[in-house]
Amino acid sequence: MKNIDFKDNIIKKNRIPILIYVPEWIQLFTNYKSRNMQKIVSKLEELIARERERSLEYDNLEKRKKVIMNKILYLSKDINENNNEAALSKMTETEKELIEINKKLPRLIEEMEILPGLINEMNTQLLKETIKRSYELIKEHKSESEKCQEQVNDIRQKLASLIQKKVEMEERVNKLYSFVHGMIGADEMESLDKSFLQ
């Protein structure tokens, strides 16, 4: 099948949603995905899961950073005002943790900035594969529909032929009854009906 190329702005202009969350896409392709579609769906799900994880990790680190900053303020006050030696070692540990968080945050932010683009790219690939698969299915379904129509036409012809035959047989039965009735009369015919048609 041919490759599908979109104009760059078509995705933005049409605001293509994440396909795996679109109910109509789910309904149409759950049981009809190509192998390529299945691979892309897996990668897309991984990227989306990673984006969620990074966002959650970022939120947790920001919360932890606030707690640490408050702890540093408290320990600084304790060290400066009370000359607390125990607070000094706690301060060192807390500062190390803050340095670690400050190292992690920029990497997380960088990854969080990259992920939406990767997700969009993967979603665009899925859209292309979905369109290819749609046309394959359209061809298959049209062909199957035409076969069904041929069978319907055959059945209609057989039905019309059977209806015609039934009408002819009923007319023949009526003519035969009429003939016998005319020859022997109603009373005699009633007794013959009982013996021949029971």
Using one digit for the tens of pLDDT, what is the confidence trace for 134-172? 999 999 999 999 999 999 999 999 999 999 999 999 999
Would the pLDDT of 127 be above 90?
Answer: yes
How is residue 137 written in tokens? 């299915």
- Rounded to whole angstroms, the Cα distance separating 34 from 32 reads 7
Cβ(133)–Cβ(34) below 8 Å? yes
Cβ(115)–Cβ(54) below 8 Å? yes
Let me know if residue 19 belongs to a domain.
yes
- Rounded to whole angstroms, the Cα distance separating 54 from 56 reads 5
Would the pLDDT of 1 be above 60?
Answer: no
Let me know if residue 126 belongs to a domain.
yes
Residue 11 — very low, low, confident or very high, per pLDDT cuts 50/70/90?
low
Let me know if residue 74 belongs to a domain.
yes
Let me know if residue 86 belongs to a domain.
yes
Using one digit for the tens of pLDDT, what is the confidence trace for 184-194? 888 888 888 88
Count of domains in the chain? 1
Let me know if residue 189 belongs to a domain.
no
Let me know if residue 93 belongs to a domain.
yes
Range of the structural domain that residue 53 is part of: 8-146
How is residue 167 written in tokens? 């009408």
- Rounded to whole angstroms, the Cα distance separating 91 from 173 reads 111
